[in-house]
Structure 1
Amino acid sequence: MPLPILDGPLPSSSVRDSVNGLSIGDSPPTIVSISDLHGYLEPTRSALLTLADHPEFAPVVVPGDDGALHWADENYVLVFNGDLIDRGPANEGVLALVARLVDEAPPGRVRITLGNHEAIILSPDHFGYTQWFAGRVGGDDRRQFLEQIVAGHIVAAYEGYNVTYVHAGSPTEYRVEKVNESLIEAAKKLLEAAGTEYDVGTQRRIIDEHQRVLGVGTGHPKNPGAGLVWLDFEHLPPDAPPQVVGHTRHSIPQRKGSVYCQNVLRANLASKGGEAVFIETPESLSSLTREADGNVEMREINRFD
């Protein structure tokens, strides 16, 4: 099952697309982001609990009596920046955690961007990868996933205060609303074709018709020419638009010009610590990283004031 049911459409495209679409009054929410969970539940829990374990922050999630993590009802937006699934042993557990937080948080306070591993669910017959969770999704669950994209629960990109959250990124400017509408259009085409003789052809065709989001590179899916869910960090130039990306694995958070990569969870599985989240306020972008002794260290990545 690709994602548990996420109930109800979002109230507006502005809430779907941007933190500025929320009714935030005089207290702008802090944005917390994490990427590339890849079915590793315990490291994901450790990363999300870095806020609770740092003296400067209120928690974004709290452990409940049931042992699960729950929304802490604080002034946050939590962005899961793609690749929730595949590789790890607890895909269902990670997805249940994300769905629970979506259900418990106010509308628009938990956002999910599409990663390349989720994109495999859109076109499973084209990509294959039957050894992975994404490549084994059944027909009904695939339709459910597509319906969640149409409803606005899963987006191509999300606009923060000073950066855009997107799984892989782009070397050139793009409009968040436009790429999100493109992803919805692709999902509608796939829903119409699902289970028909046109299904396999549509799975391939949307990759070209919605290249800005779903396109793959020449010679390798992550090569130049790839869209927002596939392009490797190596191919993002320093003058690319300000973006927080995941996708390309590193052991510590990376910065290249105005592009910041937060994919560190999987590179640190073999040792204690290393799990991290990014924290964005209107003034700054920082990381919170779990150290080997369990303590949490905050590092400022950039200031915007």
Structure 2
Amino acid sequence: MIEFRAPDAPPTEPPERDGVKGLEGEPLVVSISDLHGYLGATRSALKTVGDHEDYDPLVESDDEGQLHWAGGDEYVLVLNGDLIDRGPDSEGVIALVERLSREAPHGHVRVTLGNHEWGVLFPALVHWEEWYSSQRTDDDRRGLCEAVANGDIVACYEGYNFTYAHAGQPTRYEAGPINDELVAAAEQLAPAIGTGDDDAVQRDVIDEHWRVLSMGEQGGRGFGAGIVWLDFRYLPGASLPQVVGHTRQEQPVQKGNVVCENVIRSNQTNPGGEAVLVESPDSLRSLERTFDGEVHTNDFQVPETAHADN
């Protein structure tokens, strides 16, 4: 299903796996969430970096219109969960992310696990028969487990002042231990895939690694949900500074220390609205596509607690 690395490429190990400070220099962190198979909107969002005069391009088009990495080592791209389902071209989005991941310097394209990738791993817990995630084979599921074990897919990624996770958590956490827990879950699940124990092991893995994987109350997204599932409304403003997706917004919004960037799906019926966030060591800004194709910026507050932790 997902092959982010060339066959001879090494795994992404800590500290590169877990945060931007594991890389050399101070690359800008560009993030986007909930692509959901909307390839055109994804392309438009990624091209806002470079379409604005303050930023060099992150990607560039070839003669056939395919996007390629153009950011050198000046950027880290965080795909903040839910690459697939809902939209018309999950395969196209995956192919784009795979291509950028292979072309970028090692560790400069990071993918966090979204609840729809979760659905590939744990099909016994959901009934999404019409969606891409539920049509994956056992080999696809094993491949996704391998991507987690190799550090290609993580539960969260630490930027300069914000931690990136698909849904986030209200209590403090560190990327290293949380990502180690996701690896342990994948290694526990993989041997059971396709066996008679598959469904039972899926439930056991979620119960054991609930802080990462639990759906929570209310059929998912409610209290007790893990970092992949919790709804934005249950993240207090005083939480750890985080950038999350998962909960749909018309435009990126900030609630205290937490910024939600899930905007692609809510803007499908209107021109524009696609957006990315760009984080530097001392700022967080959105680049938002306007109805006429231009790029609007909006600066978010960096919590004082974030500066104090650096």
TM range (shorter): over 0.9
8 Å CA contact 2:165, 2:227 repeated in 1: yes
Q: Percent sequence identity over matched residues?
A: 50
Amino acid corresponding to residue 301 of structure 1 in structure 2: F
Residues 9 and 152 in structure 1, CA contact (< 8 A), matched pair in contact too: no
Give 2:43's aligned residue.
45
Identify the residue that residue 16 of structure 2 maps to in structure 1.
15
Residue matched to 1:61: 59
> Matches of 2:123 and 2:255 in 1, distance apart?
33
Moved over 6 A (4+): none
- Give the letter aligned to residue 33 of structure 1: S
- Structure 2 counterpart SS, 1:52: helix
Question: 1:6 deviation in Å?
Answer: 2.8
> For the structure 1 residues 281 and 5, does the alpha-carbon distance in structure 2 shift closer, same or farther, using more than 3 Å as the test?
closer
Residue of structure 2 equivalent to 1:169: 168
**In structure 1, what is the equivalent of residue 210 of structure 2?**
211
For residues 140 and 284 of structure 2, the distance between their equivalents in structure 1, rounded to whole angstroms, comes to 36
Matched, 1:83 2:82: yes
SS at match of 1:144: helix
Unaligned runs of 5+ in 2: none
Shift of 1:218: 1.7
The CA deviation at 1:3 is 1.8
Shift of residue 126, structure 1, vs aligned partner: 2.2
Task: Give the 5 Å matches for 1:84-163.
Answer: 84-163=83-162
1:44 & 1:73 partners in 2: Cα distance? 17
Deviation at 1:206, TM superposition (A): 1.1
- 8 Å CA contact 2:162–2:242 kept in 1: the answer is yes
1:185 equivalent to 2:171? Answer no
Taking structure 1 as reference, are residues 5 and 279 closer, same or farther at Cα in structure 2, changes over 3 Å only?
closer
CA contact 2:4–2:97 (8 Å) conserved in 1: no
After TM superposition, give the deviation of residue 11 of structure 1 in Å: 4.5
SS at match of 1:143: helix
After the TM superposition, which residues 256-295 of structure 1 pair with which residues of structure 2 at under 5 Å, given as runs? 256-295=255-294
Give TM-score, length-normalised by structure 2: 0.95
CA separation in 2, counterparts of 1:67 and 1:302? 36
Task: Please give the per-residue CA displacement for 1:63-96, whole angstroms capped at 9, x wherever unaligned.
Answer: 1123100000430000000000000000000000
Deviates more, 1:237-246 or 1:198-207: 198-207
1:250 corresponding residue in structure 2: 249
Query: Offset at 1:5?
Result: 5.1
Deviations 1:215-252 (A, max 9, x none): 11123210011000000001111111100000000101
RMSD, aligned CA: 1.2
**1:115 & 1:162 partners in 2: Cα distance?**
21
Contact 2:59 2:67 in 1 (8 A): yes
Which deviates more, 126-135 or 227-236? 126-135
CA separation of 1:39/1:238 partners in 2, compared to 1, >3 Å: closer, same or farther?
same
Q: CA deviation at 1:303?
A: 4.1
User: Which one-letter code corresponds to 1:239 in the other structure?
Assistant: A
